[in-house]
Amino acid sequence: MLLIPCPVCNMARPEREFRYAGEAGLVRPHDPGAASDQDWTDYLFARANRKGVHEERWRHLHGCGRFLVVTRDTVNDRVLQSVPA
């Protein structure tokens, strides 16, 4: 079970306090109405699913409630960084 540092609570806390919220860094089209079908479905469904250093969102559900961007190496499951989203 991961230990995730929460930059808001300023503590490393066990994974079960958090809720995973998918890949980070997705950009919602500024004007969704103007986005093409392709751009919009890419935003909805296309994910990098990176092997290695990966940025992902976690919410400190049973803590401060904040969404965080956590940098994790998916190869060795190490959390490298955690910042508020």
Compute CA distances 51 → 43, 55, 78, whole Å: 20, 11, 13
Q: Is 83 in the site for another protein (CB under 8 A)?
A: no
Closest separation in Å from C-beta 49 to another protein: 18
Q: Is 50 in the site for another protein (CB under 8 A)?
A: no
65/36 Cα distance (integer angstroms): 34
Q: Is 81 in the site for another protein (CB under 8 A)?
A: no
Q: Helix or strand or coil: residue 32?
A: helix
Q: Is 51 in the site for another protein (CB under 8 A)?
A: no
Q: Contact at 8 Å (CB) between 13 and 82?
A: no
Residues near another protein (CB under 8 A): 1-3, 15, 19, 21, 28-29, 31-33, 35, 37, 40-41, 44, 57, 59, 61, 65-67, 75-79, 85
